[in-house]
Structure formats: structure tokens, C-alpha cells
Amino acid sequence: MNTSFQLSRRSFLHRCTAIAAASGLPLWFVERDLAAAEAPHPSTSPNGRPGLGLIGCGGMGMGDAGNASRFGDILAVCDVDRKHAEGAAKKFSKDGKAPAVYGDFRKLLERGDISAVVQATPDHWHTLINIAAANAKKDVYGEKPLTLTLDEGHHVIKAVRKNKVVFQNGTQQRSSKRFHLTCELVRNGRIGTLKEVHVFVPGGILGGPFKSVPVPEELNYDFWLGQAPQAEYFTERCHRTFRWWYDYAGGPVTDWGAHHNDIARWAIGLEGPTGIEARVVTPPLPVGYTTPSEFEATLTWANGVKQFVKTTLDDSPFGAHLKENGQRNGLKFVGTTGWIWVNREELTASDKQLLLAPLPESAVKLEASKDHMTNFFNSIASRKDPIASVEEAHRSASIGHLIIIALRTGLKLQWDPAKECFTGAGAAEASKLIAREMRKPYDYSFAG
């Protein structure tokens, strides 16, 4: 046998063993994953590094842009909060040159030297910016959830496909090996017939009433409100706490829920649920944040799977809470012969052999990604869809939107995932919440 091959094989196995030990992943899966590792595609940019723009310079935007800067150069940043934009420009200065600073994302999109953008604004701005970027022929890494409403998803899909741009949604758990392995095992019957999926998400927060204060000089508040109704300014409306207001987001349903419901759908393997019911466990205060801090939802899928989604406050980033029945932040898949639990730090099962035994060569294999940002830039080079394409993003975001509609109406709803419409009792009332009125001038015409 060739000696160099022996050494190479031995080195490969040593590497696999080390990764398996550090990650807790089974050795067979690590070996398969490394053998099919996603190699970087060469850039089509003349200097090998495409020009990038950052829209939304808060904590998530800064993190995403820092990740993207491995592959391209941040040439411009934009935020309606000037201090955020200036902070981003300072961080991404390179060789003594700072990125250009904008307060209107449309001006950034006019630049010919920018080929892709990172979008990490509050949820109610996702749709218009994604559409505008697609119309400007820019590839987009857009944060989750894809949209504020169900109807907005159709507009984003149309813009992305019409303009033939690459769109990657920020549901990065699709690029996590733990979640990938779990979904493959479930799809291939490793726990028997899938019967239940339990999704636990951190709860929201209670707050209010809030004190009206002057709008900070550095914030373009009307632009920040965008399509949402005019409202007096509270510090608690903007930046991190925007997510607890229905006008701008969906609370815990579309915060962590956007990640875990995406994984649930990936493992179930269907487009969407057919039945939805939900209840508010802890309602918001009469004058304050408008999304409930705790909720429960039950989704029924066409294959008979029941998906239970509920908040668990012990993992809330806003303070320590008592555990309730040992609940955690993650997903538990329950089948006729066993169960698998997964989150970002842990992968376990009712029997370790469910994880350790390799899948056969004939098994269903899901699309794999080395990491989410690498996958995005590889897709830019290949012009193929990334792992979290715009259609996948819409279908997964729809789960959260359906739960919100059930919470807000109090109705037990039936949904046709193929036609994307409500059916049966309560359909007319629920359908009124598929879309929301957009405050002018921040409607679809604003996206160009």
C-alpha cells in the first residue's frame, strides 16, 4: 500500500477522532462530513474580495459583518442611528480607510462597487430592504425571520427570483452539524416513526408603562418606524427591545422560534403544518410591550406529527428564572422507538446507539454546509441556492406567523400549506392578519 496514502489516511482519522471528541458528534458522521467538506469557490471579483455593504449596525449586524469580512471588504455601512453607523465604520476600517456611512440604505445600494449586502435590521424592515437589494442586483445575507408577515414572503421571493440574486437567510442552525445530523437521523427513521416534536424557546419580557422621552439627536426615528404605525418614542421601542412589540416583530415566537421551527420543519420534511392552535400563558401588561412573554402552541402536520412549541424562561437572556419541569432551549424529537434532544450545545438520545450507529449509504442525505457564511459566499461564486434559500426561509418563517395569528385571534385554525391560505372555520378572520397595512411612504414603492 502507498505509504503516503497510509499517512494521509492516518492523519485524517486522527483529525476526525479529535473533532468527534471535542464536539460530541459520532465518529462516523465526522468522517463523512470531513470527506465531503465544502471547499471554497473562487471569487469572481477582480481582486478576489467582493465589496460588501452592511445595513443595520446593531449587535447582530456587527457580528454578521465581521463574519462576512473573512470573504469580502466592508465598503459601506448604513443605520438610521448615526452612532451605530459610525461605530461600524470605525470597526471595519482597513488600511487607514473607513467604510462610507449612510443613513438611507437606498443610497448604499446605488454603489456599483458593492456586490452583496448583510442585512440585520429590526424585523419590520427586512422585507423592504431585501426587495430593494434584490432590485439593485445585490446578493443578500438577510437576518431571520425573513419577513414581518406571511404575505411579505411572496414579495421577497418574487424579487429574489426575478433579479437572479443569491439570498441566504440567517437561520444558521441549518449549517450546524448537530442539527444537520439530528434531522438526517429523524428523516431516516432512526427513532422509528416520528410522532412529536417539542420546541422550547426562551420567553420574552414584561415591561411597561414606559416614559416618553425626546428622540435622540442621532436617531432618524420616523425612518426607524418605517412601515409601522406612528408612535411616541420610548427608549424601549428601539434597538434590542424592538422584538417585544407586534408592530416590529413577533416576540419569542419569531425570535428563537425562527431558528427552532426551521429545524423542526427540516426534520419533518413537509412544507408546513395543516392545523394551528395557540394560547397566551402570560399576557403582556396593559400598557407596555405587546407580545406575550409566555405562550404555548400546537401544530398538526399532514403526516400526523404533532409539534408543541412553548416558552421556557430558564434560558431567557434577560435574567434568571426558575426552571419549569426541566425545560430547556432546544428541540426534542420523539418517535415510536426513541427520542433525540438537540440544541446548540448538546446532542443526546434515549439510547446512545441511536447516534453512534452509522446510517447506511442508501440513507436520505440532507444538504450540508460547512458554515453559514461560507455557504453564502460559495453560493455567490457558484450562483446556486444556499442552504437557507428564500423559499426555505419563507416556509419556516410562516410557522411563526401562523402561531402569532392563532395567538392574536384565539382561534383554532386550519391551513393549506400548498395554497398558503386558511380554510374552514375562522378562515376569514385569520386571513385579515396575513398582511398588514404599511405606513406611507414606507410601502413597497419605497423599495424601488
CA 166/CA 383 separation, integer angstroms: 7
Share of the chain above pLDDT 90, in %: 84
pLDDT in tens, 323-341: 444 457 999 999 999 999 9
pLDDT in tens, 159-210: 999 999 999 999 999 999 999 999 999 999 999 999 999 999 999 999 999 9
Q: Name the pairing type of β-strands 413-416 and 347-349.
A: unpaired
Phi (first) and psi of residue 152, to 5 degrees: -60, -30
The DSSP secondary-structure symbol of 350 reads: S
What does the angle CA 296 – CA 120 – CA 259 come to, to the nearest 5 degrees? 30
97, three cell numbers: 480607510
The reported pLDDT for the residue numbered 6 is: 55
Laid out side by side, the sheet with 275-282 consists of: 347-349, 339-342, 330-335, 194-201, 306-311, 294-300, 275-282, 413-416, 421-423
pLDDT in tens, 362-413: 999 999 998 999 999 999 999 999 999 999 999 999 999 999 999 999 999 9
DSSP string computed for 199-245: EEE------------PPPTTB-HHHHHTTSPP----GGGSGGGGGGS
pLDDT in tens, 295-330: 999 999 999 999 999 998 655 554 444 344 445 799
pLDDT in tens, 1-28: 455 555 476 776 667 777 776 777 888 8
How many angstroms separate the most distant Cα atoms in the chain? Answer: 77
DSSP string computed for 236-288: GGSGGGGGGSTTT--GGGTTHHHHHHHHHHHHHTSS--SEEEEEEEEPPPSSS
447, three cell numbers: 423599495
Is the pLDDT higher at 27 or at 108?
Answer: 108
What predicted TM-score, i.e. pTM, was given to this entire model?
Answer: 0.93
The residues facing 332 across adjacent strands are 198, 341
The reported pLDDT for the residue numbered 67 is: 98
The reported pLDDT for the residue numbered 318 is: 44
Average pLDDT over residues 131-156: 98
